[in-house]
Amino acid sequence: MQQRILQETESRMKKTIEVTATKLSHVQTGRATPALLDQVTVTYYGTKSPLSQVGTITTPEPRLLVIQPWDKTLITEIEKAIAHSDLGLSTNNDGNVIRILVPELTTERRTELTKVVRKLAEEGKVAIRNIRRDANDAVKKLDGDSGGGGGKSRGRGGDKKRGKSTAEQE
93: left (phi over 0), alpha (psi -120 to 50) or beta: beta
Query: Would you kindly state where each structural domain of the chain is located, as residue ranges?
Result: 2-24+107-169, 31-101
Query: Is 2.170.8.10 the CATH classification of the domain at 2-24+107-169?
Result: no
The pLDDT tens digits for 49-96 are: 888 889 999 999 888 999 999 988 889 889 988 888 877 788 898 888
CA-angle at 123, arms to 163 and 15, nearest 5° = 65
CA-angle at 126, arms to 29 and 23, nearest 5° = 25
d(Cα 51, Cα 1) in Å, to the nearest integer?
45
pTM of the model: 0.59
Contact 38, 114 (CB under 8 A): no
The pLDDT tens digits for 84-104 are: 887 778 889 888 899 998 888
Contact 165, 133 (CB under 8 A): no
**CATH architecture for the domain at 31-101:** 2-Layer Sandwich (3.30)
